Amino acid sequence: MDAIAENTIWSVGLIAQIAGWSALIWWDYDFRQKLRYSRWDTNPVLGIPFSVVYGIGYLVAFLILPLIPTAILIGLTVLLFKALGADIGF
């Protein structure tokens, strides 16, 4: 049971990462379309080009967003197997 639990947790994490990156690939296309038309426009509030604002958002999205569903799904899977009585090292 413990080996099954640990392998399932790794599999869930991998699937969540694939899903997160797939969603970001779709978002990347939309981002590039917006960037193409607003590259030289300046944000009136910040006074910096929109491309810089989008670039910072882009970096944060690619670093953070895939981790959120991964952490949630791994946490739920760990709780499920703990409830089923598995002795896993979490």
DSSP for 28-74, written as a single string: HHHHHHHHHHHSS-B-TTT-SBHHHHHHHHHHHHHHHTTHHHHHHHH
pLDDT-based confidence at 21, cuts 50/70/90?
confident
The Cα 1–Cα 84 span in angstroms is 9
pLDDT-based confidence at 13, cuts 50/70/90?
confident
Give 47-89 pLDDT, tens digit per residue. Answer: 777 677 777 777 777 777 778 878 888 888 888 888 888 887 6
The Cα 16–Cα 22 span in angstroms is 10
Q: Which carries the bigger pLDDT value, residue 34 or residue 56?
A: 56
The DSSP symbol for 84 reads T
